[in-house]
Amino acid sequence: MAKEKKKQLPYGTAVIILLVVLIAVIVVAFMLGRYPITPLELFGILLSRFAAAVTSVMRFFGVRASWTITPFWAERQELVLFSIRMPRVIMAGLVGCSLSAAGAAYQGVFQNPMAAPDILGASSGAAFGAALAILLGLGSKLVTLFAFAFSLITVGLVIFISRHTKGKKVLGIILAGIMVSSLFTSATSFIKLVADPADQLPAITYWLMGSLNGVKKSDLLFAFITMAIGLVPLFILRWRINVLTLGDDEARTIGVNAGRLRLIVIICSTLVTAASVSVSGMIGWVGLVIPHLARRLVGNNYRHLMPATMLLGAAFLLAVDSVSRNLLATEIPIGILTAFIGAPFFIYLITRDGERY
């Protein structure tokens, strides 16, 4: 045990390191792409926008001032940065943060190190909703809304079934999640069977592999609001998740309603999972691997674990997304890369000396 503690960084140091890593990954993600942007050009473009904003504010208050920077970059680079690259970078960070936070929360609630954001069938429900929307020939906006809605419906069905199960409630939720997830997975397979193989089937298959390609500014508002509604309570209640790991009896002795708290955490985790999957497709392993890596950095205390997991998850998915769109001439679906990276890395984690599950 003493050896394990030596490996952990002080919480403040870990957060600073993760913030620096996240900022560095964001900068690199902005620069990489079909139209490369040098660090100097990136700084100039961002500074010019900042200068324009400051000038507008000063003029609003009646101060006549003009602060402009002569462009030394191509207009196309500025257009690509703000219209294409920035929305995608922000979305990758939000999805990575949300999936990681949901995974950490589920692992604490269910006291199961193998718990992941799709444990209650949220991903399976989203996949069915998206596949159904594509089969009906609906647009990308409705595909996202169908995925989000069916993800919530799936988890709602799981919670409803679990309330009528006998025995331990936590076990009932998990078993109901497995059953409902299997049901929606089968329904998705049926949709793929009857879909048009020339048009609809490739679109469904590509969505199921996960990708942030085509993310627009308009997508950010929906994702940010729904994810914030779930992430903020998880961040505020993170210390109470420690109580859930002790069991219901121990929680009751210190005045915590374990059942109500568990339901709140499940709802918040489901909301961010549904929002993430609806805008990015099926991206696995992030919510399973990242919390375990964060534990090795800051320990099991959720007061420290949740912020570290959010920062690490955002940086990880940003890095993977940068690789997915720059490694080959054609973009690699991000869900494929997370599986290639996540599975071997998780094997490494669980086979390390001193690791216990």
Q: Is 151 exposed, middle or buried (0-12, 13-18, 19+ CB in 10 A)?
A: buried
pLDDT score at 353:
53
pLDDT at residue 171, rounded to an integer? 82
Q: Which two tokens stand for residue 320?
A: 């993977």
- Give the pLDDT confidence score for residue 156 in this predicted structure: 92
Residue 4 is predicted with a pLDDT of 44
Alpha-carbon distances of 100 from 17, 38, 85, 140, 257, rounded to whole Å:
18, 31, 23, 25, 25
Contact 259, 247 (CB under 8 A): no
List the structure tokens of 156: 């709602």
Q: Tell me the two tokens of residue 99.
A: 């999936």
Residue 352's CB is within 10 A of a number of other CB atoms, namely 10
What own/partner pairs with CB < 8 Å and gap ≥ 24 does 47-55 have? 49/82
> Within 13 A of 178's CA, how many CA atoms are on the CB side?
6
DSSP label at residue 83: I
The two three-digit tokens of residue 170, written as one number: 């936590």
Residue with tokens 């534990």: 295
Q: Do the Cβ atoms of 242 and 299 come closer than 8 Å?
A: no
Q: What is the mean pLDDT of each run of 10 residues along the chain (357 residues)?
A: 56 94 95 89 89 80 75 87 92 96 92 84 93 92 93 92 80 88 95 93 92 85 93 92 77 78 91 93 90 91 95 96 88 89 77 56
Nearest-5° Cα angle at 223, 310 to 315 = 30
Q: What pLDDT is recorded for position 33?
A: 86
How high is the pLDDT of residue 89? Answer: 94
Q: What is the pLDDT of residue 218?
A: 81
What type of residue is 145? L
| Model confidence, pTM | 0.90
The residue type found at 279 is V
Please state the three-class secondary structure of 293-313 as a single string: HHHHHHCCCHHHHHHHHHHHH
64 DSSP 8-state letter: -
Pick from 326, 339, 269, 353: which is nearest to 33 by CA?
Answer: 326
Q: Is the dihedral of CA 79, 312, 159, 157 positive or negative?
A: positive
Please spell the DSSP secondary structure of 221-276, one letter per residue.
HHHHHHHHHHHHHHHHTHHHHHHHTT-HHHHHHTT--HHHHHHHHHHHHHHHHHHH
pLDDT of residue 7: 60
* 270 Cβ contact partners less than 8 Å away, ≥ 6 residues apart: 102, 120, 122, 151, 152, 155, 230
Superfamily of domain 2-33+87-350: ABC transporter involved in vitamin B12 uptake, BtuC (1.10.3470.10)
> What is the rounded distance in angstroms from the CA atom of residue 173 to the CA atom of residue 188?
22
Residue 342: what pLDDT? 78
